[in-house]
Amino acid sequence: MDKIRRIVTGHDSDGSAIFRDDDLIEPLVIPTGDAAMATLWTSESLPADCNDETDGRLRDAGTTIQQGSVLRVVDMLPGASSPMHRTSSIDYGIVISGSIELELDHGVFKTVNAGEVIVQRGTIHKWRNPSNNNICRIIFVLTEAKAFEVNGLPLPEVMEH
């Protein structure tokens, strides 16, 4: 899996724009073994605070950060699929290489190709890379969201195994 070049801008003490970081980040294979991920940046709040000099990559982030955002790259490995899962988040996904199948309830799915966008709105879903040879790379921006409600009750977060 290719490393990801991350360029972060900021300001010097006079307010002039500077390049703060320019580094290569290696995606790490997750415990389920279906993908490798790299968190590139997080913010602790929305709107984010540009005065916070913390390296957003170093914050402890689960799938999302409460009241914040997460920028993550996911490399879905050839032939792999994730477990069905649901998070209380809105996930903006941009497929930048390969293709991915996004499966929802009842086995319905759509194939999403490089250059196409997914807006994942807290639904139960799974990802499947239909290629036996190529990694599918997706960039995600995740923000916490209020869970969808059925009869006034929020749908729970789910992670099947």
pLDDT digits (tens, 9 = 90+) for 141-154: 999 999 999 999 99
pTM > 0.85: yes or no: yes
Peptide bond into 78 cis (omega under 30): no
Structure tokens at 91: 């996930």
pLDDT digits (tens, 9 = 90+) for 80-95: 999 999 999 999 999 9
CA-derived radius of gyration, the chain: 17
CA dist., res. 27 & res. 39, Å (int): 8
pLDDT digits (tens, 9 = 90+) for 53-79: 999 999 988 888 899 999 999 999 999
Q: Give yes or no for a contact between 98 and 131, defined as CB atoms under 8 angstroms apart.
A: yes
Sorted by where each begins, the domain ranges of the chain are 31-159
Residue 19 bridge partners (DSSP): 9
User: Please, what is the average pLDDT of the chain?
Assistant: 95
Q: Which pLDDT band holds residue 160 (cuts at 50, 70, 90)?
A: confident
Structure tokens at 82: 């994730």
pLDDT at 161 over 70: no
DSSP state of 125: B
Superfamily of domain 31-159: Jelly Rolls (2.60.120.10)
pLDDT score, position 32: 85
Strand, helix or coil for residue 107: helix
